[in-house]
Structures are given as C-alpha cells and as structure tokens.
Chains A and B, each alone.
Chain A
Amino acid sequence: MMLRLENVSKSFGAVAAISDVSFAVQKGEVLGIMGPNGAGKTTLFNLIMGEFPVDRGTIHFNDKPIHGLSSHEIAAMGLGRTYQIPQPYRGMTVVENLMVGDMFGGKHASLSRARRRAYEILDRVGLADNAEKLAGSLGLLDLKRLELAKALAMNPRLLLLDEIAGGLVENEVVVLRDILDDLKKEGVTMLVIEHVMGILFGLSDRIVVLNFGQLIAQGTAKEVMEEPQVIEAYLGTAHAAEDRDGRPASGPSVAAAMPAASAGSGAPSAAAGTAEEAASAALKGAASSGAPDGSAASAAFDAPTPGTARPAASAAPAVSAQPLLEVVSVTAGYDKFIALFDVSLEIYEGEITGLIGVNGAGKTSLIRAITKGIPLMGGAVRYKGIDLATVEAHKLAELGISQSIEGRKIFPELTVLENLELGAYNKRARQRRKQTLREVFDLFPILEEKKNQLGTLLSGGQQQMLAIGRALMSLPDFLILDEVSLRPGAGGHRPAVQGHRGDQPPGHDDSARGAKHPTLPGHGAPRLCDRTRADRPVRQRRRTEKQRRVQKGVLRRLTPSRTTDGLRRLTSPRTTDGLRRLTSRAPADRRSGRRCRSCFEKIATDI
C-alpha cells in the first residue's frame, strides 16, 4: 500500500472541508479523484502534502505515518505535487525551476547533474526550447507543463496531479494526455484530480468521488458513474418530491444530449426521461468517451430534444422588449489569458438567468466583465440602455446592479449588521436602509440573531446568507449571485432566494437576476433559473434556446448537464500561433451556428 488515508478529517472554522475520508493507493496505480466544486479535492492534496495538519485520522506513505510531518519532509520522501493554479518560480529560468525540485526533493545534489536531468524532463514535456527563459514569461500551457515537469524533477514515487489539464484546449489536452499515459506505462503511481473527464477516466484505474468533503463512492469509472449518489452530486436530483407547487414529478420530460465526442461517431446520442436517467446517461457517456477527440467533438450538434423545445416566442406579457442587460460580443480576460471570447446574451427584466459551465469556463469572468472587474477587450455591455463602459465601477450599485461575489468576500473586521449596512451604501438604498434591513432579516432570521457578531464567526452557509443579504441591501434591479451554494450548509438559502423572489420587496421594480451557478448544479441554485446558460467556454458561444418566462410562483427547473465536451476550456491565444488558430477558427464556428451541445431541461408542464 503506497498511500493510505484513514478517517481523515479537516475543518476550517465551522466548515468541514474533509470528513472521515479513507482510501488507499496501490503501487503503480492511478487513482482519480473527482467531485464537484468545493468537494474538498484540493484540500485533500494539501493534507497529504502536510500544508496543514489533519484534525483527525492518519495518513501513511509506504507504511510510515506522514501526517504531522512538515511539507518539505513529505516532499523529500518522494511525493511530488502540481498545483491547479501553476506555482512557478517566476524569477528563475525554466530549467532552474526543475533543478530546485531535483536538488531538494530528489536525489541530485550537484548542479550539473540536476541540470542534465532537468533537460531530459523538459524534452519529455516539450519545454526544452524554453529551458533558459524565465518561468514568469511562459504562457498557460507551458506553465502547466512546467508544473508537471517540476513535480517529475523530484523523481517522485507518488505523483499528485491537481487539474493538470484545466484551462487547456483540446489539442493541448491530447499532448498532456500522451505524457501522462507514458508515465502510467512506466509505473508511476499517481493521484489525479481532474475535471477533464477524458483524462480522468482514461487514466485512472480507480476513482474516488468526493462531495462536501465526504467520500461518496469509489471503484472503477463505470462503477462510480452508476452510483446514484454520484449522479446526484453532479447533476442534482429531480427534486420532484419537494416541489413546492406540487407539480407531479413525472410530468416534465428531460432530454440528455451527449456530445458527439462520446458517441465517437460524430452523431449525437440522446436520452430522454427523468432527470436521473438523463444524468446517468450523460455521465456514462462521459465515462466511455476516453480521450477527448478534437475532430469528433467539434462536430456541430444542436440538441434536438423532445419535449423541451419551447419557442421563445411564447412570451408572457410581463417581459418587456428591451433587455435589461445586453452583453454584446464581449471578449475579455486577464493579460495573457482570454477568458471570454465573443460572448453575447440578453437578460430581460423579471427573468432569472442561470449561468453554468465547468471550472474555468469563464462564468466568473463574465460576471467580472459585466461589473467592470476586468476590462473588456472587445464588445460592449449595456444595462438599461446605458453603455457600462461610460460608468465607473463604483457607480454600478447606484444603477441597481448588485452582486454576491464568489467566495462570499464579507468584511471580516465588521459585524454582521455593519456588513449589511455597507451593502446599502448608495444613495437610493441608504434612504430605504431600515426597511430593507428588516426584509433581509425576515429572509435570513439567523442573521438578525447574530447581527452583532463579526462576519467571520459565522458558518460557511451563514456567511453566504450574509453575502446575499448584503447584495440585496443595495436594492438591486439586477442581482448577480456567483456560486451561492458553493459551501456545505448552504442549502438553507435556496428557499430564501426563492422566497425573496416570490415576494418582491415593495417599492422597487421586479428584479432580474443572474445567478451564476457552480459547475455542478446539484447544490441548489439552478432550479431557480428561467433559462440556463451552459457557459461553454469554447470559442463558439452557445445559447440555450429555451427562453422561459416566469409566472408568479412558478419556478422552472433546468438541470444542465456536464459533458466531456463542455469540459473543454476556453484558453488564451497565448502564442501568436494560438492567436492565429483562434482567429481563423472562430468565425467558422460561429457560421456553423453551433448550439449548446447538451442541456438537460426539466420544464414545468403547466406553462
């Protein structure tokens, strides 16, 4: 037994990040770890590597206990890891980046030998040409390669890979996949966290699935995919039983469309039935798809789903013609990394729009682009007809845009009450502060109870309530919720949000809200959405055609799927070559008018 975890638990404050997890990795085995956002996958790696101590439980490496050792001792025992966000030594050359690992974690103390070996590894991962460049000057793919190379340089007996393919486009994933396959053939033991299912399923001998810090399944890819708990974790349940409107569970139909890649033939396979059936079909398809195949995957596929297609024309009268928010061909990103490419969408007053997509798809980036968190490289955002380029960021609240940022971001040094009051900072909201506060407290009674506590002393879910409450305090016409349900214990706010929605505070307009949902919609929020944007990050933008109207008291539920194809990320034109690729491909993609490849939908029958 190479690595053995027994009953490992770890909490951060009131949030249990890992609870009672046990599993083992055999020598030569590749163990995949999957789970939704916030499931505790990276925390698990941090615990194994000794970045922080375990609360309970034991971790053994080659039958020696390693919990309680410091990170460098663990590394020197032969555990090499990569980071989800590359952590290079920016001021050192690429080859020096590797030499550090070899000289401290590996076996070579001499510089020249370490350098020679570093070059061998660089050759292998395709970085040899950049060996003498500063690591800080590399683009994302090269940084990912460097991340792997750094770990390999330590000559590890166990390799921990954290989303090594995250953020890469298909041909880059293929390159990486080849490297990993070679490593596997050589018998390197690996522990792999991956959202690119093609890599995870293709590489892993076994898979463990985490959700909310708990191990919910383990076995082969096929086995775990049939596990109802896994399907639930990833796709949510039908929630028929808890439907407040008492609509029958059997009524709505769900269509699952599998991307061409998984069918292998270029033809879409579709499944229809209840949400569970569709979800399970989708996951199975993903499991069998293996390596993502660029050509097959890019075959156009428009989800022709029985029972779901409702023309947008059947508009309810409540909706005005003028969209509240218009995002027009927005391109935006961060320096080298373009996160959004030509994204357009409209949000109408009174509507709830869900935004879904895998990690790194660009969901938060889109929100940042709307709220001026990142500069636009192209396109425009109009809100109530006003071009937001002309509005300063801090004036957005006055216009009625409010957001609950991912990760809550409450003010730690302020009390709950102060946090909420700061939400009503703009002039309009300040005048109505008392009433709004009352409404927020009615919505989240726990906040009133704890109003004089420091914000950080709340549990994760309560902090989330506070973040939502603070966003509501500014009297938004347009509310943006980013990952409202990310943390355990957050389930409680779903009814609250619903409640808020059904019961508009008097005196202000019916709100339009964008709810950005975590990758995996199982946790709650997307059921709120009138329409869901599967934020497929790839160059072509897609649009869920199902525009739906809200009627009072009726919430439609969309259960979007996760597909191998959806897992392909938008990446940057990080090299001139990439830029060329990007520019030449994008128009073609748009011409083909590809749609959302796969979207499970569940629509109330009574509309």
Chain B
Amino acid sequence: MDKQLRQLKTDKKAYGKLAGLLGLAAFLLLIPVIGDSYAELFFYLLFINVALAQSWNLLAGYTGLISLGHAAFFGIGAYTTALVMIWLKWPFFVALILGAAASMLFALIVSRPIFRLRGIYFTIGTMVLAEALRIWMINWEKTGGAQGVNLPLETALSYTTMYYIAFVLAAASVITLAVILRSKIGMGLRAIRDNERSARNSGVNIYRTKLTAFLISALITGLAGGIHAEYSGTIEPYSIFSINWTLTALVIVIVGGMGTITGPILGAFIVGLLGEFLIHYPTIHLIILGFILIAVIRFFPGGLRGALVTLYRLLTEGRSARKIAGNQSGADAK
C-alpha cells in the first residue's frame, strides 16, 4: 500500500517533469518561427553549450574526472568533419559521424596513459594534451595552419537547419546522460567518483567504466565540434582548439550544479544570458563570470540548481512537516 503510494508519487513527479521538458522543447522548436535571427543564434549557442556541458558533466560530475582537455575533442570533431567535406566531398552528416568517430578514437588512444594520472594530474594532463594538439594544428600546413580551412559553401546548410541539428544534439546529450545514469554503468561511474577503491572491490572494472564515460563524452563533444564547424563555415585552430570551450563548459556545470542533469541546462542559460548582456564589455564579462564562479563554489556548492532546491525545500518545509506530523498521529491512532 505504502509502496504503491510511493510509486504513484514518483510517477506523478516524473510525469510533471516530462510535461515541463516537453513544453520547453516545444518552445525551443518554435524559436526559428517566432523569433528573429538573434534569438536563433543565442539558442544555437545555448544548445552547443548544453551539449558540451553535459559531456563535461558526465566526466566531472559523475565520474570524478575533471578534464580541461575537452577542446581537443571539440577541435578534432570540427576539423575531421570539415576536412572530410573538403577533401572527400562527402555530405555533412557522414562527415559529422566520422568527426565524432575520430574524436572517440583519439579518446581511446590517450585513455591508457591519461587514466594513470589521478586528481589534479589528470586535469593537467588533459589540458596539456589539448594545448599540444592546438599548437600542432597551428603549425600543420596540410590543414591550413593558422589560417584554418573554409568549408564548401555550395552545400552549406541554412542557419535554421543548423539550429535544429544543434537542438537535437543538446536534447540527445541530455537524454543520453539521463539514460546512462539510470543504468548499471551510471551506478559504476558514481561509485568510482565517490570511492574508487571500494568500487574496485565491489567488482567495478575501473578502467572500462571510466573509458566508457570518456568515449561518450568525446562522442558528444566531437559532434558539437562538427556541427559548429559547419555552422561557422570557416574554422581555424586558435578558436576551435581554444581552452575557452572547456572553460565555458566548466563554468556552466559548476554554476548550474555539478552532477545533475538539469543543472547544466540552467547554467548554460544563465551564462549565455550574462554573456549577451555584457557583450560590449568583454573584460568585465570575464571578471563578473569569475566572481560568480567563486561565489557559487563558496556559497552554493550544489550550484544554482542546488540553491533553488534548497529554497524550494525551505518554502515547502512547513507544509511537509505538518504532513509528517499528520501521518504520525494517524499511525499512532491505528
């Protein structure tokens, strides 16, 4: 009886969540119709950022691996997509898949050595890797060196199409994460994050489980890179391999709430809005972002999502306390 009631409540909650998400999705799908090109650009970037943030979140928030090298996956995805389209003249979608595959391959190759590093060393290792790759790309003439490459204009997709593609990516990344977290792998990932030693002795294959997360993260980031290459039309190593991609993801996840699914969505929105408001003051923008980051880490370790949840609890606490008291007296009466 109690169990059924609990199940019903969870169902109710889940349906409410689902309805909210569907509403949001409908709104976002309508943006190109009802909004202008500015709104379209804003939300396009938001989607890319959500995807990046979720992929970073999978590693940092759920596996405990803080990576500063996501720009490498992003850049490899972007460059592979672009080069396949330029050299082989293959269509965008095929190139995009190859780009993601290349990104995953890179992840697979570096996984062995990089997983030997722990904690802060892992972070530094990933950062060095990404920077080395960036410098390599700047100097590699075959891929246009510092000038970069231009994607074929004649087959270019419209901004609106790209908007929808980015939307699909963002939605897919959210769903992927949600599914993973409700699976055996997600359980293993969180166990590794919380206590690697204990996880190992519970039978979790640490390397394989971490690798899975790493590959999925590389996949999502690589796709985001490929999409962004097509959207930009021209790519060059300075911006594509810039550590800014990683840092944006990091800020979004920390501000929104690490280790949660809704947190990064919220964070992407806030960080995006802030960027738009302060677009004419690039220096102040970074300073303010830095302050927000410090403030969140100091005062809201759970991020904005955590803060909102706490607030919600505070507001509803009286009600639920009464409820519990009511149940108690009911039980006593029995």
Interface residues of A (CB under 8 A from B): 49, 51, 70-72, 75-76, 80-81, 83, 87-92, 96, 99-101, 103-106, 109, 111, 135, 150, 154
Contacts and interface: CB of A to CB of B under 8 A. Distances in A.
Nearest to A71: B200
B188 A100 contact: yes
B88 to A, nearest CB: 41
Interface string B202-216: 111110000000000
B250 interface: no
Given A99-B187, A103-B184, A75 B200 contact: yes
Contacts of A87: 195, 197-198
A91 B61 CA distance: 11
Given A96-B187, A111-B182, A75 B203 contact: yes
Q: Which 4 A-B pairs have the closest CB atoms?
A: A105-B203, A89-B194, A75-B203, A104-B203
A376 to B, nearest CB: 28
B195 A96 contact: no
Given A91-B193, A101-B202, 20 more contacts: A51-B200, A71-B201, A72-B205, A72-B206, A75-B200, A75-B201, A88-B198, A91-B194, A92-B191, A96-B187, A99-B187, A100-B191, A100-B202, A104-B187, A104-B191, A104-B199, A106-B203, A111-B184, A111-B187, A135-B194
A154 B194 contact: no
B206 A104 contact: no
Contacts, number: 83
Contacts of A76: 203
A70 B201 CA distance: 9
A83 B200 contact: no
A87 B259 CA distance: 20
Contacts of A101: 202-203
A72 B204 contact: yes
Given A72-B204, A101-B202, A88 B194 contact: yes
A72 B209 CA distance: 12
Interface residues of B, number: 21
B203 A154 contact: yes
A92 B204 contact: no
Contacts of B204: 72, 100, 104-105
A96 B183 CA distance: 12
A87 B183 CA distance: 22
Interface in B243-289: 259
Contacts of A51: 197, 200-201
Contact of A103 (B187, B197, B200): B187
A558 to B, nearest CB: 39
B199 A89 contact: yes
Contact of A72 (B194, B195, B200): B200
Contacts of B191: 89, 92, 100, 104
A135 B200 CA distance: 18
Nearest to A79: B201
Nearest to B197: A87
Contact of A88 (B184, B193, B195, B259): B195
17 contacts: A51-B200, A72-B202, A72-B206, A75-B201, A76-B203, A89-B193, A89-B198, A90-B194, A96-B190, A101-B202, A104-B184, A104-B188, A104-B191, A105-B204, A111-B182, A111-B184, A150-B198
Interface of B: 182-184, 187-188, 190-191, 193-195, 197-206, 259
Contacts of A135: 194
Contact of B183 (A71, A81, A111): A111
Interface centre among B182, B198, B199 (most CB of A within 10 A): B198
Contacts of B205: 70, 72, 104
Contact of A90 (B182, B195, B202, B206): B195
Contact of B202 (A70, A91, A104, A109): A104
Contacts of B201: 49, 51, 71-72, 75, 80-81
A135 B203 CA distance: 19
B210 to A, nearest CB: 12
Nearest to B259: A91
B334 to A, nearest CB: 19
A278 B199 CA distance: 45
Contacts of B203: 72, 75-76, 101, 104-106, 154
A49 B198 CA distance: 11
Nearest to B64: A91
B182 A89 contact: no
Contacts of B182: 111
A105 B191 CA distance: 13
B195 A150 contact: no
A81 B194 CA distance: 17
Interface centre among A92, A99, A103 (most CB of B within 10 A): A103
A71 B197 CA distance: 9
Contacts of A96: 187, 190
Nearest to A87: B198
A28 B316 CA distance: 52
A34 B199 CA distance: 27
A101 B193 CA distance: 15
B124 to A, nearest CB: 20
A89 B184 contact: no
A105 B190 contact: no
B162 to A, nearest CB: 37
A75 B183 CA distance: 20
A111 B183 CA distance: 7
A100 B203 CA distance: 8
Nearest to B62: A91
A75 B195 CA distance: 15
A15 to B, nearest CB: 21
B192 to A, nearest CB: 9
B327 to A, nearest CB: 14
A83 B206 CA distance: 19
A150 B198 CA distance: 10
B200 A91 contact: no
A133 B276 CA distance: 40
Contacts of A104: 184, 187-188, 191, 199, 202-205
Contacts of B190: 89, 91-92, 96
A104 B205 CA distance: 8
B2 to A, nearest CB: 12
A383 to B, nearest CB: 37
Nearest to B198: A87
A149 to B, nearest CB: 12
B183 to A, nearest CB: 7
Contact of B199 (A90, A99, A100): A100
Nearest to A90: B194
Contacts of A90: 194-195
